[in-house]
Structure 1
Amino acid sequence: AAILYDRAKKTRQACSIYNRLLSEAIRALITSNTLAEGNILSSARSFASRLSSTQNEFDRTTNTLYTLLDIYVYVEFFKSQQFERAYEVIQKLSLLPFAHTQIDQCLESINYYSTEILDCYPDIILITLTLMSILASVEYKSSANSSNQHLLLAATSSFDQRTSHILSTNKKGLLDELKRQADVLFRFIGLLPIKLHNHVHVQLMECFSRIKNAC
């Protein structure tokens, strides 16, 4: 249906359908490790790329499309255990604050997120703190050179696709940064206007504890 709307130049309707499909794909990937059908992702990415080259201004529906595409890439990196790449992606997407000066902006942005983004927002928070606890663990070893998989973010993203080396030099420096960022996220979670389920709170606290106690 999205392709038919696209061919009929009904961009808004096509975009809305892609947003729903991408939201469902993200939920499936998070809950069951089920990858989205290739034609859905490729069609959505092609559609987004054409939009970015023909439109100078983007409305809420279009912005949702780009954000969902980037969220999918983030979750896919995490699920495929490309933790360093995932860490870099989430730092770039402006979905969560990693400095105290970013908290107000992120809280304000939540008011403008679509239902499709808000539906997966608690999972994004949990995945991010889980990711940070993995990077902070003593057992974690850098895997920057272990995979040649190349996943593209949406056309409007500024994410640098080069291989990450964030863990290859100073582990203590990264650990200090992860602890600082965990404090920021902990404060942000306390200010969230959306309700998190109790089991999510429990898991978040476990991740926070692992990060803060890492050495």
Structure 2
Amino acid sequence: KLRQACSIYNRLLSETIRTLISSNTLGAQNILTSARSFASRLASVQNDCDRLANTLFTLLDIYIYIEFFKSQQFERAYEIIQKLSLLPFAHTQIDQCLELINYYSSEIMDCYPDIILMTLTLMAILASVEYKSALNLSNQHLSLAATSSFDQRSSNILSTNKQGLLDELKRQADVLFRYIGLLPIKLHNHVHVQLMECFSRIKNAC
């Protein structure tokens, strides 16, 4: 029963994530709340669905990441994606991330190209001189659902030296593009075009 329930939640969460990626509205909150409750229960009992459970936890983390991005809380989103081990941010992490791809479920892989594109878009935003004013462009921010497994402390990444941050973003962009070239999955042409635009924005930022 646990395996079956976990599989259903994974499928529903994957659909909810794709809806969130493609729109500016939060996914079905009842599904998210229920999935979080089930994940808590799953973590507290011995079970034989480790891979299914790992997929569930990863999908919940991905949802949180996208929530922060969509609500324009870019610094928190940037911190979260670096904690998730989904993408490499140093050359030494590339092999590990390539290895992990072999173990990701179809539910995770379905949204993986979008996560790559969203992450480079996020880095391009952080690298831009317009970043500060971009935060004030819209008052129609999404209200974040429930609480996440990540702490809610404010971020300090942009309080450091601006040039230092830019150098780090450019270095990480190089890592991600090397990684993208090694991926065993094909990205659609329009995704490649958008990735190149983001890469150019990051590398040309000053």
Give me the TM-score of the superposition, normalised by structure 1: 0.87
Query: 2:72 corresponds to which letter in structure 1?
Result: Q
Among residues 63, 67, 82, which one is paired with 1:91 in the alignment? 82
Cα distance per residue 1:115-151 (max 9 Å; x no partner): 00000000000000000000000111296xx999575
Residue 18, structure 1, aligned to residue 9, structure 2:
yes
Cα distance per residue 1:84-112 (max 9 Å; x no partner): 11001100000000000000000000000
Instruction: Give aligned pairs, total.
Output: 200
The Cα shift of 1:34 comes to: 3.0
Which residue matches 1:111?
102
After TM superposition, the runs of 4+ consecutive aligned structure 1 residues lying more than 3 A away are: 55-58, 146-154
Alignment of 1:25-174 (within 5 A): 25-55=16-46, 59-141=50-132, 152-154=147-149, 159-174=150-165
- Verify the 8 A CA contact 1:77 1:85 in the aligned structure 2: yes
Query: 2:132 corresponds to which letter in structure 1?
Result: K
CA distance in 1, matches of 2:145, 2:21: 20
Among residues 169, 175, 180, which one is paired with 2:166 in the alignment? 175
Gaps of 5+ in 2: none
The percentage of aligned residue pairs carrying the same residue is: 81
Cα distance per residue 1:24-61 (max 9 Å; x no partner): 00000111223122211110001101111223886111
- RMSD of aligned residue pairs (Cα, Å): 2.0
CA distance in 2, matches of 1:170, 1:63: 37
- Verify the 8 A CA contact 1:95 1:106 in the aligned structure 2: yes
CA distance in 2, matches of 1:64, 1:166: 29
CA distance in 1, matches of 2:168, 2:91: 13
Which residue matches 2:177?
186
Which residue matches 1:200?
191
CA distance in 2, matches of 1:131, 1:60: 29
- Verify the 8 A CA contact 1:22 1:68 in the aligned structure 2: yes
Gaps of 5+ in 1: 1-9
CA distance in 1, matches of 2:146, 2:205: 30
CA distance in 2, matches of 1:209, 1:62: 38
CA distance in 1, matches of 2:76, 2:146: 10
